[in-house]
Amino acid sequence: MGFLSKLLDRGKKAPDRTKFQRGPYKELKNITLDDFQMHPVWVSDASGREFGFHDQTPRPLLMSKKVTKDLVDSFAVTYVLIQVPSSNHWGWAALQDLERMESITLWTLYDKEDGRKVLAGQRDVEIHVVPQIADSPSQIFLYDPETGKAARRE
């Protein structure tokens, strides 16, 4: 559910984000692999998902390495550290919910690249989510080269 959708859903009260301790804002383009390894979950209060882009200034989630439904529902975008074991790439993805991810970005030798470019033509690629996803037997998502998104493997 995107930020605008959350704003328009007047039947629910605003999420209590104060229960999540967060660090300082950092531009997404400046976040390093070391940053993500130190804090494998980053969140954004606002999103341009409905307009075709994501918030570029997330904040790290402190004191927790667990992703819950409450966390994902409380923020417009939840970014998580990921690894693609078959190619030994690290990166991040935006969780749509606890079952699906999008905006897959991978670090390459020189820079960060769109996952669709790095994984082009590959099938059955497993993406491992580094932070624990609550109440889940699997931390593995399967990449769909047609959409550039991934869904949890059952």
Beta strands in 21-138 (DSSP E): 41-44, 59-60, 66-67, 77-84, 89-95, 100-107, 112-114, 126-129, 132-133
Which residue range is the domain that position 12 belongs to? 3-152
- In tens digits, the chain (154 residues) has pLDDT values of 444 454 445 445 667 787 899 999 998 889 999 999 999 999 987 654 444 445 568 999 998 888 999 999 998 899 999 999 999 999 999 999 999 999 999 998 888 899 999 999 888 899 999 999 987 778 999 999 999 999 998 7
**Measured between alpha carbons, how far is 96 from 102 in angstroms, rounded to an integer?**
7
Torsion of CA 50, 53, 57, 63, to 10 degrees: 70
Contact 85, 126 (CB under 8 A): yes
Number of domains in the chain: 1
